[in-house]
Structure 1
Amino acid sequence: MDVEKWLLTGDPAIRWQVMRDLQDAPEAVWQAERTRVATEGWGARLLAHRDDTGRWTPRLYGRKWISTTYSLLLLRQLGLPPDDPRARESCALFLEEGLWHDGGMNLAATQQRSETCITGFALGLLSYFEIDDPRRELLAGYLLREQMPDGGWNCLRHLGATHSSFHTTANVLDGLRDYGRAEQAEARGREFLLAHRLYRSHRTGAVVDPAMVRLTFPPRWRHDVLRALDHFRAAGAHRDERLTDAVEAVRSRRGSDGRWALQRPYPGAVWFEMERTGEPSRWNTLRALRVLKWFDKS
């Protein structure tokens, strides 16, 4: 089948990324399609659940997967234009109520040192939606201080963890990528993932967790090989040979019709279902094709 044609029959969130990443369309073309995310399809449906206070749920972070944090993360993945005033108003809540107390003290850095993932989320959202506030620099500074000797991050470091977490590292790397001013820290974080070939023990070579090769979307707070490969691509990272194992794991899941299915998602509440488990997935197919295009190019 014509897979790109099938992708282009999907949601605006899919179409604009197909145009940009698979078809190399002129920026004016894919940007015009991108604006439709705010008014049509999944993006518009998700924004409709936002209340007058700028929240999706009373707590910014809490109920998975419908809290304000996860709703904003999904809007970022859909590609909602960064200047959307509703999303920007909601992101500002992280500064006013989510991570800050007592005149600007960073709660993540002073009282809840297990919240490295949430700090990564907040930095990425504030950066993506272009919230220009000096407190954003404090969030970045906290994450840079929390980077571990092996190059990654672990939200349980305060409890004595000595080895970085794949999941925490993935969330922080996405936040730093949108922040765009910590290239050295990003490179060290990606080297941590490369040392593990994205999903294997660096000591034994065994798969750390079978869920890391399960292709689902959205990834939520979890690391998996397709999410990681898409990060390397988006960051313009070097196509290291240590990525080959993960690339082949993704390639092997391609169906005979050229598409990738949606595998079992992570349990939790959702505002609506974008795709059905076990059926061909535009999200997985788009992400896999652009990863392969990037990795296979000469």
Structure 2
Amino acid sequence: MLSESVIAWLLDSDPALRWQVQRDILGEPQEVWQATRARTATEGFGARLLALQDPDGQWAGGAFFPADFDFETISDVGQPWTATTWSLNALREWGVDADVLRERRTPELLAAHCRWEYDDLPYWDGEVDCCINAWTLANGLWLGVDVTVIKDWFLEHQLADGGWNCEWVEGSIRSSFHSTLNALKGLLAYEAATGDTDATRAARRAGEDYLLQRSLFRRLTTSEPVGPWVFNFTYPWRWCYSLLNAVDYFRTAGPPDPRMAEAIELIRAARQPDGTVLQGRPHSGRVWFDVDVPEGKPSKWLTLSAARVLAWWDDRFPQTGDPGVVGV
């Protein structure tokens, strides 16, 4: 699917990305990509972010926002991405070994010193936001923390249509694409770490069905796209839904579902002739350092994601001779 020159370009990257190229694109032996993955804690992005951890286990002195953040400016400067939750998300997604954080006593330090900005709640108990709880569930499992209470929270707060919405606390009874995708990622992490439960599997299947019934991007009532953001492919994902982000989740969750065929072809169409994918409009806000290219430039992260979801799909549903038709 990718030329030798594009693969070489992908491999000329931070270990956080390179080990995934070796595993998912090249199919290298486990010992090869694991050796690269082990370097994420001592080189590049992972090492830089670990060096920014506070002595009390946090990043930027806060759980979801930096300690010095002025909330009155958020509409002007955007969501900052430097606090503890965002930093843990990045380290986990880049493949940093959890033992590195455990050796620093990060779980214990966060339990002692980190509180949510919402109601000063304990960090590892989560709060009321679906997306925040999903990341805390995944991060806690990664670090060996008992986060059963957060898993149970998701079962209790699933909406009647099958998904979740962070605005449930404001009375919303209609699910959100963003909240549902992040909730699904958290539940999948729980199943992978604990061996699954019937209840979490049923909840996750219902959430997946919520998205699949809508072809991953359409309104159920009008069939119109839910918003332009579904086509904005950008890395890091942050909290935002996009077709590429959603399909990348489904790739990790199981075999392809024919109901995502249209989304797959839109991802295929977003690639440049050489298979690269251009960075969309990045999410504004303070960062520790840049991990991808500016808007409009070929993104190694997005190119990797698109290549592996298309390979996953085409392995199950090979393309026909007509590039506009999928063999389903």
> TM-score, normalised to structure 2's length?
0.82
Offset at residue 105 of structure 1 (A): 10
User: Is structure 2 residue 165 aligned with structure 1 residue 154?
Assistant: yes
Mapped to 2, the partners of 1:4 and 1:196 lie a distance apart of 34
Offset at residue 84 of structure 1 (A): 2.0
Q: How does 1:33-52 map to 2 (within 5 A)?
A: 33-52=36-55
Question: C-alpha offsets along residues 130-172 of structure 1, whole Å, 9 cap, x if unaligned?
Answer: 33x2xx1111101111011111101111322121011111111
C-alpha contact 1:72 1:87 (8 A) present in aligned 2: no
Residue matched to 1:163: 174
C-alpha distance 160-239 of structure 1, shift in aligned 2 (>3 A) = same
User: Is structure 2 residue 136 aligned with structure 1 residue 122?
Assistant: yes
Mapped to 2, the partners of 1:261 and 1:116 lie a distance apart of 30
Pick aligned residue for 2:278 from 250, 261, 269: 261
Offset at residue 88 of structure 1 (A): 7.1
Offset at residue 83 of structure 1 (A): 2.2
Q: Which 5+ residue runs of structure 1 have no aligned equivalent?
A: none
User: Which residue identity lines up with residue 166 of structure 2 in the other structure?
Assistant: C
Q: Which 5+ residue runs of structure 2 have no aligned equivalent?
A: 67-79, 317-328
User: Is structure 2 residue 305 aligned with structure 1 residue 287?
Assistant: yes
Mapped to 1, the partners of 2:130 and 2:303 lie a distance apart of 31
Residue matched to 2:17: 14
Mapped to 2, the partners of 1:18 and 1:39 lie a distance apart of 19
- In our comparison, the structure showing a higher alpha carbon Rg is 2
User: Is structure 2 residue 96 aligned with structure 1 residue 80?
Assistant: yes
C-alpha distance 145-92 of structure 1, shift in aligned 2 (>3 A) = farther
C-alpha distance 137-252 of structure 1, shift in aligned 2 (>3 A) = same
Residue matched to 1:193: 211
Offset at residue 4 of structure 1 (A): 1.6
Q: How many residues get paired? A: 289
C-alpha distance 87-75 of structure 1, shift in aligned 2 (>3 A) = farther
C-alpha distance 143-215 of structure 1, shift in aligned 2 (>3 A) = same
Mapped to 1, the partners of 2:34 and 2:151 lie a distance apart of 29
C-alpha contact 1:22 1:290 (8 A) present in aligned 2: yes
Question: C-alpha offsets along residues 189-244 of structure 1, whole Å, 9 cap, x if unaligned?
Answer: 111111111111011111111111111011111111111101000112x3111111
User: Is structure 2 residue 87 aligned with structure 1 residue 71?
Assistant: yes
Mapped to 2, the partners of 1:104 and 1:216 lie a distance apart of 28
C-alpha contact 2:126 2:133 (8 A) present in aligned 1: no
Structure 1 stretches of 4+ with a deviation exceeding 3 A read 86-107
Mapped to 2, the partners of 1:221 and 1:275 lie a distance apart of 17
C-alpha contact 1:200 1:208 (8 A) present in aligned 2: yes
Offset at residue 20 of structure 1 (A): 1.2
C-alpha distance 87-207 of structure 1, shift in aligned 2 (>3 A) = farther
C-alpha distance 206-27 of structure 1, shift in aligned 2 (>3 A) = same
Pick aligned residue for 1:271 from 288, 300, 303: 288
